[in-house]
Chain A
């Protein structure tokens, strides 16, 4: 069974084998509003835990997207670059951002589970 974990920067991460799929949470999209631009990391590039790995922009402002774990980018989701509004529609499903081949599996342990994240998101929103 694949486990979904969450970061304090409002990314979700789903692990299958050593490949992690990463996106932003529904809570993040609600805070951002209508997303109108997305920039993703380049395939083949390496990203470091908590480093920037993309950008999302709403009509209001630009925000960095961070990667919650380190690894090599093996795939990116071009559909959300072509139509960024898809991120608002299905942020935790079809609108994933990028896939990483993980470097250090223990990094998963630093992240929150669903229950912990929901509590965190609720507190950070108020």
Chain B
């Protein structure tokens, strides 16, 4: 299969990106300054991420669509206001996660942002579940970029007047050179920021304007260290078909009202797990020394018994030390539980810790 390129490929190349294949796309892993500098720049200033490989699924329909989508997602979509977004999951009957996604209510339907590696499969599953009753467009003509970090609002409002009015997890249509672009105040770095959906033929021009105003391109490498410090899950690592939202410690994303009524895919298992508890659960793990425990590192308790595995682990530049997430047996999931991580044959002490590793600074409401 041919490797796909985003509309910003040339700009990445001009900025000396190192590329890596990710979900069938040639994506920048880092630029010349390197992951640590890019990470810090995002935390202190403003970073631009090309996330055009992610799926932008538009589904159009009326009240029937809302009803049908509520049979799929554990969300209270009837009460979701126009231009408001919610984090959710596409699950199987066992509540295993096919994908984690963001659902936004737009006029006449919904915009759903999907993971790149899952989007084609999601489309097939959703088409089947909705019996092809609604117009569904997995839009390849639009790009998606994120601008993240404390200076992002100042930079973006210079180009698009009014974005500063958006509060966290809401969006709206704006005009950029007579074309409609959709901006939400959201992101996946633990910083204040925006995601911008715009036509492929405008994305390079738009990105260059952000760069002129002082933002910098940031690669997938720093995106990973940023989201991990923020305690956010990455599909294929913390989340997959064999894990449920309750096991992933994401029950906050499941509507309580919907759970009590059931009748969505996976609701039986979700209900059971919420009532009876789970055997394994996602936790944050902080190694005591400097050693980095990567994905698949085995976790042991103080009696040297195997209790779980790391799903993501790296060096956190803002934490200035190693950070990790993983799944452990429920009884060892309490904060400050001492565990041991087997790295290159040696067991290294670590502690179960709360998430995030790095404190979020999302903007809850617009500054008035």
Q: Are B225 and A59 in contact (CB under 8 A)?
A: yes
Q: Which residues of A contact B30 (CB under 8 A)?
A: 33
Smallest beta-carbon distance B39→chain A, Å: 8
Q: How far is the CA of A10 from the CA of B291 in the complex (A)?
A: 23
Q: Is A94 an interface residue (CB 8 A)?
A: no
Q: Are A62 and B34 in contact (CB under 8 A)?
A: no
Q: Is B217 an interface residue (CB 8 A)?
A: no
Chain B, range 284-317, C-beta contacts under 8 Å to A? 290-292, 294, 314-315, 317
Q: Is B136 an interface residue (CB 8 A)?
A: no
Q: How far is the CA of A114 from the CA of B59 in the complex (A)?
A: 61
Chain A, range 37-94, C-beta contacts under 8 Å to B? 37, 39, 55, 57-62, 81, 84-85, 88
Q: How far is the CA of A27 from the CA of B355 in the complex (A)?
A: 37
Q: Which residues of B contact A61 (CB under 8 A)?
A: 294
Q: Which residues of B contact A62 (CB under 8 A)?
A: 292, 294
Q: Is A34 an interface residue (CB 8 A)?
A: yes
Q: How far is the CA of A34 from the CA of B29 in the complex (A)?
A: 13
Smallest beta-carbon distance B285→chain A, Å: 16
Q: Is B36 an interface residue (CB 8 A)?
A: yes
Q: Are B292 and A36 in contact (CB under 8 A)?
A: yes
Q: Which residues of B contact A37 (CB under 8 A)?
A: 290-292, 315, 322
Q: Are B35 and A60 in contact (CB under 8 A)?
A: yes
Q: Is B199 an interface residue (CB 8 A)?
A: no
Q: Is B78 an interface residue (CB 8 A)?
A: no
The size bracket of the interface on B is 10 to 19
Q: Which residues of B contact A81 (CB under 8 A)?
A: 290
Chain A, range 1-59, C-beta contacts under 8 Å to B? 33-34, 36-37, 39, 55, 57-59
Residue of A nearest to B29 (CB): A60
Q: Are A34 and B35 in contact (CB under 8 A)?
A: yes
Q: How far is the CA of A81 from the CA of B291 in the complex (A)?
A: 10
Contact of B35 among A39, A57, A59, A84 (CB under 8 A): A59
Q: Which residues of B contact A34 (CB under 8 A)?
A: 34-37
Q: How far is the CA of A122 from the CA of B225 in the complex (A)?
A: 30
Q: Are B34 and A33 in contact (CB under 8 A)?
A: yes
Q: How far is the CA of A85 from the CA of B34 in the complex (A)?
A: 12
Q: Is the interface of B mostly helix, strand, loop or mixed?
A: mixed
Q: How far is the CA of A36 from the CA of B290 in the complex (A)?
A: 8
Q: Is B221 an interface residue (CB 8 A)?
A: yes
Q: Is the interface of A mostly helix, strand, loop or mixed?
A: mixed
Interface string of B200-242 (1 = CB under 8 A from A): 0000000000000000000001000100000000000000000
Residue of B nearest to A32 (CB): B34
Q: How far is the CA of A57 from the CA of B315 in the complex (A)?
A: 9
Chain B, range 15-49, C-beta contacts under 8 Å to A? 29-30, 34-37, 39
Q: Which residues of B contact A33 (CB under 8 A)?
A: 30, 34-35, 221
Q: Beyond A34-B34, A34-B35, A36-B36, is A59–B314 a contact (Cβ under 8 Å)?
A: yes
Q: Are A59 and B221 in contact (CB under 8 A)?
A: yes
Q: Is B261 an interface residue (CB 8 A)?
A: no
Q: Which residues of B contact A59 (CB under 8 A)?
A: 35-36, 39, 221, 225, 314-315, 317
Q: Is B135 an interface residue (CB 8 A)?
A: no
Residue of A nearest to B224 (CB): A59
Q: Which residues of B contact A57 (CB under 8 A)?
A: 292, 315
Q: Which residues of B contact A60 (CB under 8 A)?
A: 29, 35, 221
Q: Which residues of A contact B272 (CB under 8 A)?
A: none
Chain B, range 307-360, C-beta contacts under 8 Å to A? 314-315, 317, 322, 344
- Can you sample 24 A-B contacts with CB below 8 Å? A33-B35, A33-B221, A34-B35, A34-B36, A34-B37, A36-B292, A37-B291, A37-B315, A37-B322, A39-B291, A39-B344, A55-B344, A57-B292, A57-B315, A58-B35, A59-B35, A59-B36, A59-B221, A59-B225, A59-B314, A59-B315, A59-B317, A61-B294, A84-B290
A residues near B (Cβ < 8 Å) are: 33-34, 36-37, 39, 55, 57-62, 81, 84-85, 88
Nearest 4 CB-CB pairs, A to B? A36-B315, A34-B36, A59-B35, A34-B34
Q: Known pairs A59-B317, A62-B294; list 9 more (Cβ under 8 Å).
A: A34-B34, A36-B292, A37-B291, A55-B344, A58-B35, A59-B35, A59-B39, A59-B315, A85-B36
